[in-house]
């Protein structure tokens, strides 16, 4: 692991960027411009969801560029701008720092590469995040929709969530689309936008319940009654196996 927990701040026209110290010497404002990557032939795919996502092949490895976009009713006012309340509270810097801490602790999250924000129009800002691209994978939502989740993935997902909860990582949007199951059986969790750290407690139970609702919804949309009781029991078994007492007692 590289020491990504301490990012390097660089000025950016109208804002600033935060870069992994190992890449600070190569930092370039154009990293946050999809058209620049497209002109360089580096874009190898696009993603959906709330954020505009570009998958990149760069001289530094595979990266993912995400532009923050608003969801819900707020996007009626603006899909790409957020109210300015200070640099440390920008969506990009906050998520970068949370990911950097978790990654430095050896947890299965994407390695943060760089984050950026630009002010304007007043009193708003827009933001971007660059992370490493994970090995080939599919979301738990995709696999659950096809009733094709590999049997070992249930317990492994539980173990991963237990480790994150033990580290105090509160994922505010833990759903089946944010859990990735690798072709090699590994499990990663992504999209920690608005996530934060807190002491383990009853919120861990609510976090798991949120994932269960997401899985049940996915299964029902595919014509099943919900995720199987045995499958969910496997996830909880893996969770309790990996969680320390102060966490497992809340599951």
Peptide bond into 110 cis (omega under 30): no
Residue 69 in contact with residue 110, Cβ under 8 Å?
A: no
Catalytic residue among 20, 28, 33, 173: 173
Is 216 one of the catalytic residues?
A: no
Measured CA to CA, the distance from residue 154 to residue 130 in angstroms comes to 29
The Cα-based distances of 150 to 26, 231, 242 in angstroms read: 40, 10, 19
Q: Token pair of 24, please?
A: 């600070």
Q: Token pair of 106, please?
A: 């050896």
Residue 153 in contact with residue 134, Cβ under 8 Å?
A: no
Peptide bond into 121 cis (omega under 30): yes
Q: What are the residue numbers of the active site?
A: 173
């Amino acid at each position: 692991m590289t020491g990504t927990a301490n990012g390097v701040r660089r000025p950016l026209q109208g804002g600033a960027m935060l870069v992994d110290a190992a890449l600070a010497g190569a930092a370039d404002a154009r990293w946050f411009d999809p058209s620049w990557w497209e002109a360089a032939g580096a874009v190898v795919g696009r993603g959906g969801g709330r954020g505009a996502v570009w998958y990149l092949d760069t001289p530094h490895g595979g990266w993912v560029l995400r532009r923050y976009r608003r969801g819900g009713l707020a996007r009626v006012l603006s899909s790409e701008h957020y109210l300015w309340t200070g640099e440390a509270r920008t969506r990009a810097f906050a998520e970068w720092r949370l990911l950097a801490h978790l990654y430095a602790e050896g947890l299965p999250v994407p390695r943060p590469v760089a984050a950026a924000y630009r002010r304007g129009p007043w009193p708003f800002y827009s933001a971007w995040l660059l992370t490493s691209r994970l090995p080939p994978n599919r979301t738990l939502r995709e696999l659950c929709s096809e009733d094709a989740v590999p049997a070992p993935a249930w317990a492994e997902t539980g173990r991963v969530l237990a480790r994150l909860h033990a580290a105090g990582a509160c994922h505010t949007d833990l759903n089946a689309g944010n859990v990735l199951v690798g072709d090699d059986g590994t499990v990663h969790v992504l999209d920690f936008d608005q996530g934060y750290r807190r002491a383990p407690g009853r919120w861990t139970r609510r976090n798991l319940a949120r994932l269960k609702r997401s899985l049940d919804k996915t299964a029902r949309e595919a014509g099943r009654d919900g995720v199987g009781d045995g499958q969910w029991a496997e996830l909880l078994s893996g969770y309790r196996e990996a969680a320390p007492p102060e966490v497992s007692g809340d599951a």
